[in-house]
Amino acid sequence: MPASQGSLTRSSSFPQPDRAPCPVALQECARDETMTIRLLETLRTRPDRALLVAFGVVAALLLFVLHIASEVGAGDTDAYDSSILRGIRVAAERPGPVTHAARLAMQDFTALGDVTTLTLVVILVVGGLLIVRKVAMAGFLVGASVLGTLSVELLKALVDRPRPNVVAHWAIFSHASFPSGHAADSAIVYLTLAALVARSVETRALRVYILVAAMLLTLLIGLSRLYLGVHWPTDVLAGWIVGAGWAFLAATAAWWLQARNALEAPGAER
C-alpha cells in the first residue's frame, strides 16, 4: 500500500478535531455588534432621537404600571402582597437590639422621602442654581419635580387603593396607597438630580457613584414603606417604575434643551 493511502487510512480511524466556528456566524455577530454600537453612538450624539426613545420607554413603563393597577383592582395581587408584608413583619417583630435599631433606621429612611424633605432638597438645589445664574435649569428642576409629583397624585386618585390592613402601621400616612408616593417622589427628585449632576462630572467613576447612590437611596426609601407596613409591595414597585421613568424622561429632556441652547449646559454660567 502506498504511504499516502496508509496515512489516509490511519487518519480516518481517529476522531477529527472540532471545526472552527462558521465564518458566516462570526460575520453576523460582528455586524450585530457594529449596529448596536452605531445605535448607541447615534443616541449619544443626537439628543432629539434620544428624547424620542425616552418617550417610548416611559410609555411602555406607564402601560406596565397600568397593567399592575388593573391586577390590583381585580384583587389578583392580594395574596402575594399580604404574604410579603406578613413575612417582613414577622422578622421585624423579633425581640432584640438589631430589630429595634432596624425599625429606627427605617423610620429615618422613610423621612427622606417625605414631601417636606423632598421640597427642602429641591429648594436648596434651586437656590444654588440661582446663585450660579442657572435660572433656566432652576426652573426646569422645579417644573420636573412638581409635574412628576402631580402625576403621581393623579394616579393615586384614579386607582384609589386602600392602605394595607394585614399588619399594624408603624408610620403615618395620608391617603390612597397606589402607587407609593414616597417611592415615586424620591425617585423623581433624587434620580433627576443625580442625572443632572452626573452630566457635569468629568470622571466616569464619580458619575457612576452619584447615580448608584441615588438609586440605593430610592431603593431604601421604598423598602422602608414595606417594613413600616404602610404600603403594599405592588405600590412600591409601581412607585419605583413611575419615578424612575419620569427621571429618565426629565434628564433626557434637559439634555435635548441644552443641545438647543434653551437650558444652561453643565458647568456653564450666565
Please report how many Cα atoms fall inside a 13 Å half-sphere around the Cα of residue 176, on the Cβ side: 14
Whether residue 165 is predicted with pLDDT greater than 80 in this model: the reply is yes
- Tell me: the pLDDT tens digits for 78-136? 888 899 999 999 888 888 888 889 999 999 999 999 999 999 999 999 998 899 888 88
**Domain edges within the chain:** 97-270
pLDDT per position as a tens digit, 92-102: 888 888 888 99
- The DSSP output letter for 35 is H
More confident residue, 35 or 67: 67
Q: How far apart are alpha carbons 69 and 10 in whole angstroms?
A: 71
Rg, Å, the chain Cα set: 26
d(CA 164, CA 254): 38
Reduced to 3 states (helix: H, G, I; strand: E, B; else coil), residue 213 is helix
Q: What percent of the chain has pLDDT over 90?
A: 33
Residue type, 20: A
The pLDDT value recorded for residue 124 is 94
Contact 228, 62 (CB under 8 A): no
pTM of the model: 0.78
Count Cβ atoms below 10 Å from residue 127 Cβ, excluding itself: 10
Residues 6+ apart with CB under 8 A from 50: 43, 44, 252, 255, 256
Quick one: cell of 70? 388593573
Site of grid cell 436648596:
124
Q: Average pLDDT, stretch 239-249?
A: 91
Cis bond upstream, residue 179 (ω within 30): yes
How confident is the model over 196-227, as pLDDT tens digits?
A: 888 777 788 888 899 999 999 999 999 999 99
Cα separation, 163 vs 187, whole angstroms: 21
Q: What is the largest CA-CA distance in the chain?
A: 97
Residue 208 CA to residue 263 CA, distance in Å, equals 24
The answer to whether the beta carbons of residues 163 and 173 sit under 8 Å apart is yes
DSSP characters over 183-200: HHHHIIIIIHHHHHHHTT
- In the DSSP assignment, the letter for residue 167 is S
pLDDT of residue 4: 47
